[in-house]
Amino acid sequence: MAGYSDAPMRQLAAEQGALWTVSEMISARGLMEHDGPDLTLGRPYPGETGRVVQLFGAMPEYLAAAVQRTEEWFAPAAIDLNMGCPVPKVHGKGGACLLQTPEVAYDLIRAMKSATDLDVSAKIRLGWDEDRSVEVAQGLAEAGAAIITVHGRTSKQRYTGEADWDAIARVAQSVDVPVIGSGDVTTLEVAQRRQSSGVAAVMIGRGAVGNPWLFQALASGDGLYPSAAARARTALRHAELQAEFYGEDRFGVRSVKPLRKVLPKYLPDHPELRDDLVQVLTVDDVARVLAPLLEGTEEA
pLDDT tens sequence across 47-66 = 999 999 999 999 999 999 99
pLDDT tens-digit map of 21-39: 999 999 999 999 887 666 7
Which of these is catalytic: 85, 96, 167, 214?
85
- The model carries a pTM of 0.91
According to the model, what pLDDT value does residue 34 have?
84
Q: Which of 43-57, 180-194, 285-299 has the lowest mean pLDDT?
A: 285-299
According to the model, what pLDDT value does residue 91 have?
64
Pairing of strands 51-56, 120-125: unpaired
pLDDT tens-digit map of 88-144: 667 667 899 999 999 999 999 999 999 999 999 999 999 999 999 999 999 999 999
Query: Of residues 44 and 3, which shows the higher confidence score?
Result: 44
Question: Which residues, including other chains, have CB under 8 Å from residue 268's CB and lie 6 or more apart?
Answer: 210
Instruction: State the average pLDDT over residues 172-188.
Output: 96
Angle at the Cα of 281 (from 278 to 286), degrees rounded to 5?
70
Active-site annotation holds for 85: yes
Residues 146/78, Cβ–Cβ less than 8 Å: yes
From CA 239, how far away is CA 259, in angstroms rounded? 7
Signed CA dihedral, 4, 97, 78, 133: sign only: positive
From CA 21, how far away is CA 204, in angstroms rounded? 10
Q: Which of 49, 21, 18, 9 is nearest to 237 (CA)?
A: 9
Assign 296 a pLDDT band (cuts: 50, 70, 90). low
pLDDT tens-digit map of 273-293: 999 999 999 999 999 999 999
Domains of the chain and CATH, by start: 7-220 (3.20.20.70), 228-294 (no CATH)
From CA 201, how far away is CA 181, in angstroms rounded? 7
pLDDT tens-digit map of 224-256: 889 999 999 999 999 999 999 999 988 899 999
- 122-154 burial, b for 16+ CB within 10 Å, e for fewer? bbbbbbbeebbbbebbbbbbebbbbbbbbbbbb
Question: What count of other Cβ atoms lies within 10 Å of the Cβ of residue 10?
Answer: 24
Percent of the chain topping pLDDT 90? 83
